Structures are given as structure tokens and as C-alpha cells.
Amino acid sequence: MKTYLQLNSSLHGTESHSSRLARQFIATLVRTDRSADMSAVSTRVVVRDLANQPLPHLTAERFTAFVTAPEQRTADQSRIVAESDALVAELAAADVIVIGLPMYNFGVPSTLKAYFDHVARAGVTFRYTANGPEGLLHGKRAFVIATRGGKYAGTPSDLQTAYVRQCLGFIGITDVEFIYAEGLAMGEESRTAAIAEAARRIEQLAA
Ligand SMILES: Cc1cc2nc3c(=O)[nH]c(=O)nc-3n(C[C@H](O)[C@H](O)[C@H](O)COP(=O)(O)O)c2cc1C
């Protein structure tokens, strides 16, 4: 079984460029798997919409639950940890993760930040060692579809790329590729060209 996890974070629902490109990318990957004679391997696609089903902000209550020993947790703390455990299990089960990443006010959507806050768990997805932190989720590939109204890739104003790469790497997901669709708010011509370029890149990466 090969599992794909699609994480959408756009507030635009079905109108979202990042969610649509992420879906298109997974469909292309699945098609490529099949034509590469992986027909014996079944595929599973899990879609998590972080905008439609947002996670709470990380609060003192929630973080305390994470760091309380299982046998000492209250019923509320156990419920909080179970919610995080389910997200971690879903991520750990994925072979390929595709993140739809719109830029909102120069950063990542707060819903994606909340997701990272719920899956970065000491002793679960990373651990501290004498050599520094070590990620515990291995053998995964991640693709990030970054959509933006303006153009930032490769400039110091692109605060998203390093942040997302760092968050994924911290928990062990180091094989990460970014696909950009930029200039989406810079006129029809710019938008059409950016989407076509992202689609081309998707085909290239899936090949
Ligand atoms: C609340 C909000 C904030 C935004 N902030 C930025 C920004 O800082 N820089 C930028 O280039 N585009 C910004 N945009 C434009 C989006 O990045 C762009 O519309 C992109 O296509 C969103 O992806 P989506 O279609 O998947 O929602 C913003 C859009 C919204 C709704």
C-alpha cells in the first residue's frame, strides 16, 4: 500500500489554486505509479483540509498535555494527546506528503502552523540527542505547492520556503521539493503562465 497525504491550507475551498494543484499532482503521481507497473501496489489518498477543519492554536493547556506522562494525564489531557497522536499516525503512515501552501501575509496560513505545532512532538516525531534534535519520521517524500499573489521565490522575502523546509526536516522529512505558482495577482497573463509552469513542473517531477 502506498499512501499519499494531501494537506490543504487554503481558505478558498474549491477555488484554491494550491489545493487544486496538489490534487492534480497526486493524481499524476498515482497515474505514473500505475504505468510504471506498480499495479500490484494499491494506493490510498488521504486529504486533510486544515482550513475547513482547523486545529486549535497550541495553548499552555495543550502543550502541557503533550509533555505529561501518559499515566498522569487527566481525561481532558488524554483527549488532547489522542487528537495529536491521530495526526502523527496519519503523517507517519504517508509515503508521500503534498502540501498546498498559499502565502498569507508573507507567511504560511496559521492553520498549517497549528498543524506543525500538533505534529512536532518531543519523543514522538523528534528527539533531543547530544548532537541536537533528530527527526524520527523517515523514508518520506514531500512536495510543497506554493501559490502566491506576488513573486518571492529565491529572494529574502520568501519566508515560507525555509520555514516549511525546517519544520519538515525537524521531524525527519528531508526529501522536500517546492513547486511555485507565483504572480497569481499580477494579471491574467501572469496567472495563466504561472499555473501552466506549475503544471509542467508537476508532470516533470512525477515522471
Ligand atoms: C489573507 C490573504 C493574504 C495574502 N497575502 C499575500 C502575501 O503576503 N503575498 C502574496 O504574494 N500573496 C498574498 N495573498 C495572495 C495569495 O497568496 C494568492 O491568492 C494565492 O493564490 C492563494 O492560494 P490559493 O489560491 O490556494 O488560496 C494573500 C491572499 C489572502 C487571501
Residue nearest to atom 10 of ligand 1 (CA): 149
Q: Give the C-alpha separation, 100 to 12, whole Å.
A: 11
3 alpha-carbon distance from chain centroid: 14
Ligand 1 centroid–CA 103 distance in Å is: 5
In this prediction, residue 35 carries a pLDDT of: 79
Q: Which residues contact 118 (CB under 8 A, 6 or more apart)?
A: 55, 58, 83, 84, 87
**Ligand 1 cavity residues, CB under 6 Å:** 10, 12, 16-19, 100, 102-106, 147-150, 184-185
The CATH homologous superfamily for domain 2-206 is Flavodoxin domain (3.40.50.360)
Query: Can you tell me the mean pLDDT for 60-73?
Result: 97
In this prediction, residue 39 carries a pLDDT of: 61
Query: Can you tell me the mean pLDDT for 86-90?
Result: 98
Residue nearest to atom 30 of ligand 1 (CA): 104
Domain boundaries, the chain: 2-206
- Mean residue pLDDT of the chain comes to 96
In this prediction, residue 20 carries a pLDDT of: 97
Residue nearest to atom 29 of ligand 1 (CA): 104
Interval 143-195: pLDDT, tens: 999 999 999 999 999 999 999 999 999 999 999 999 999 999 999 999 999 99
Tell whether the model's pLDDT for residue 38 goes beyond 80.
no
Ligand 1 centroid–CA 195 distance in Å is: 14
36 — pLDDT class (breaks 50, 70, 90): confident
Interval 23-34: pLDDT, tens: 999 999 999 887
Per the listing, cell 505514473 goes with 32
In this prediction, residue 3 carries a pLDDT of: 96
Q: Pick 40 or 142 by higher pLDDT.
A: 142
Residue nearest to atom 4 of ligand 1 (CA): 104
Q: Which atom of ligand 1 is nearest to the CA of 107?
A: 8
Q: Which segment of 31-45, 86-100, 139-153 scores lowest on mean pLDDT? A: 31-45
Q: Output the CA–CA distances (angstroms, integers) from residue 182 to 58, 130, 149, 171, in the order listed.
A: 30, 41, 6, 28
Taking the alpha carbons at both ends of the chain, their separation in whole angstroms is: 20
Candidate of 98, 99, 104, 180 to mutate for ligand 1, largest count of ligand atoms within 8 Å of Cβ: 104
Q: Please check whether residue 112 is in contact with residue 167, taking contact to mean a CB–CB distance below 8 angstroms.
A: no
